[in-house]
Amino acid sequence: MARRESRTVVALSFEYGQRHAHELACAARLAEDAGAEHVVLGLSPRLFRGSALVDPGPLPAPTPGTIPATYVPARNTLLLAHALALAEARGARDVWIGVNAVDYGGYPDCRPEFVEAFARLIAVGTRAGVEGAPVRLRTPLLRMSKGEIVRRGVALGVDFARTSTCYDPRAGDGAACGACDACHQRATGFAAAGVVDPRPRVGSAP
């Protein structure tokens, strides 16, 4: 969606000891497909000890009504702070982030309240903001359902075989586990969109 609007897109990824680091290889390929520069920044995994997405061991099942064990402390605040610095340094007009609140997974930093608060921070905490032209925070997926997101991706020509959603992909080829909460939500989205997911799963035919 950013590519449709802008001649220059920088795709930003983070390596923070996530167990689903396979997403970084996917991001590199997708950025190349889109003709975008791909920047990968590292954050110390020591920041996130205690998150099931960083700590080793089996993934705990989510408990309805609670913030999941896969919550990563202040992750989107940190990611957006880095993206904001890069955007301001390069004179970019927009920072885009794919947070989604409709199929709300219990993550506080995926909600409209968080997005609105961060936009206020941009306005008061950056030179561009104080000078009256703050970097705009763009969240086009915020209120879309997972099914709508899949349909939009298909319309835009996204190669979903090159995307990764699983929290616990298999080492090596990155096949999705098919059992974690992220895999369930992805399956729900593809089913709602009436689209066959081309991404390989553990146990599925190649």
Contacts with Zn ion, residue ranges (CB under 5 A): 166, 176-177, 180, 183
Nearer to Zn ion, 70 or 139 (CB): 70
Closest CA to 45 of 15, 13, 83, 76: 15
Nearer to Zn ion, 140 or 174 (CB): 174
Give SS3 for 127: helix
Nearer to Zn ion, 24 or 177 (CB): 177
Nearer to Zn ion, 23 or 88 (CB): 23
Nearer to Zn ion, 53 or 83 (CB): 53
Q: How far is the CB of 197 from Zn ion (least distance, A)?
A: 12
By residue count, the chain amounts to: 206
Token couple for 200: 């390989």
Separation CA 38–CA 32 (nearest Å): 8
- ∠141-147-152 over CA atoms, to 5°? 60
Q: Is 168 exposed, middle or buried (0-12, 13-18, 19+ CB in 10 A)?
A: buried
Answer for the pair 109, 119: CB distance below 8 angstroms, yes or no: no
